[in-house]
Amino acid sequence: MKKENNVKLLGASSFFNDMGSDMIAPLLPFYITALGGGGIALGLLSGMREGLASLLKIFGGWLSDRVGKRKIFVFLGYFISIIFRFMFLVASSWQHLVSFVALERFGKARDAPRDAIIEESTKKVGKAFAFQQMLDTSGAVVGTIFVIFLFWKFNVDILTVILIASGIGVLSLIPIFFVKEPHFKKTKKNIFEGISSFSSKLKYFVFVSAVFSIGNFGLYLFLVKRGGELSGSIIAPLAMYALFSAAYAYTSVPFGNLSDRIGRKKVLILGYMLFLAISIGFIFAENAYLFAILFILYGLVYSITQPVSRAMIADFSKEMRGTAMGFYYFVTGIVTIPAGIFAGVLWNISPDVMFIYISGVALVSLVLLLFVKNR
């Protein structure tokens, strides 16, 4: 089997995993409310979901560099996520739910080894990351539409959806068996030596990405909550989330291709500018229709910034690519924990106050991005 097929196989795993994960994700704001959680609980959930897993991502990447194997870490990561998704079913308080969500995200330690396999399997790195992202987020689209159908046609409850979604996630393990392990030189450096050896360009870009993540901290969970408040239903925000995911999924490849042709920085500037404009727009979105349009456009922010940022890290890393990817995930992820909690505090004051804060962060990150040097 050609190693180029690794991108398709890992994309298939991502599809089934995200189908299961994103059947659950848009329901978490409503689930945590039913368990007695408020704005701070939602902020903690959002930060934990996006950030805590990053503590292990760097170790997953470094271990794959150290032992010379990547596939086993990808498999174990998906397996851990599946186990703890089933644990959501037994949560009896919002504290339990937040804990299980945090543990489920430990499986994201797979991301750095997975990205390293993708980078080592093709020369068109931007396109490859975007293609994997497209399949990943297509799973979210299909999963969210499936949830809407279950609610509308069968009037199922949240726990039933979680059970079905967890079962679908098991399918993500199958394609990994057919992934061809890439050959690369093992490293003898420890994790700190590896990080210190990275170029100043890579470290500065990771810093910029971390500032951006302070504003983009898992915001979509708050947007689902806000969409439910403005529309007065649970179906409407689920539909918004599905369209957000569709925008994210099906524009990733064009932007990835564009970054291969004209450079990563130019495309990222577009994504950061769009995030700033949308953040300002949310301040004034007081009806469900305008809010839905902005929510969908927010999907373009993800389709630009997520795969292109990973491709930028790949450009800057000559060796220890797993560690480099893990370092990027670690730094950008860890800041989302306090960022999510602080956003929850501001949300309790007013959603508009939170959106003003996010707009300020978006502006700062855009200015910092201008000083990133291309490879």
CA distances from 173 to 104, 178, 226, 373 (A): 16, 10, 34, 39
Q: Where are the domains of the chain?
A: 5-175+197-369
pLDDT score of 2: 67
pLDDT score of 91: 95
What are the helix (H) ranges across the chain?
5-24, 28-34, 39-51, 54-67, 71-87, 94-104, 111-120, 125-149, 158-169, 191-196, 200-215, 220-231, 235-250, 252-262, 264-284, 288-316, 321-334, 336-349, 351-369
Rounded Cα gap, residues 328 and 279, in angstroms: 24
pLDDT score of 275: 98
pLDDT score of 218: 79
68: left (phi over 0), alpha (psi -120 to 50) or beta: left
Contact 343, 222 (CB under 8 A): yes
**Token pair in block for residue 153:** 């046609």
* CATH number for region 5-175+197-369: 1.20.1250.20
pLDDT score of 319: 79
pLDDT score of 50: 65
**Token pair in block for residue 263:** 């450079």
Rounded Cα gap, residues 343 and 278, in angstroms: 17
On the CB side of 118, CA atoms within 13 Å amount to: 32
Rounded Cα gap, residues 9 and 172, in angstroms: 10
pTM: 0.83
pLDDT score of 187: 87
The alpha carbons of the chain give a radius of gyration, in whole angstroms, of 19
The pLDDT tens digits along the chain (375 residues) read 567 799 999 999 999 999 999 899 989 999 999 999 888 888 888 777 766 667 678 889 999 999 999 999 999 999 999 999 999 999 999 999 999 998 898 898 899 999 999 988 988 899 999 999 999 999 989 999 999 999 888 889 999 999 999 999 999 999 999 999 988 888 888 888 989 999 999 999 999 999 999 999 878 889 999 999 999 888 899 999 999 989 999 999 999 999 999 999 999 999 999 999 999 999 999 999 999 999 999 999 999 999 999 999 999 987 788 999 999 989 998 888 889 889 999 999 999 999 999 999 999 999 999 999 875
Rounded Cα gap, residues 310 and 312, in angstroms: 5
38: left (phi over 0), alpha (psi -120 to 50) or beta: beta
pLDDT score of 192: 87
Find, among 116, 135, 122, 111, the residue nearest to 14 by Cα: 135
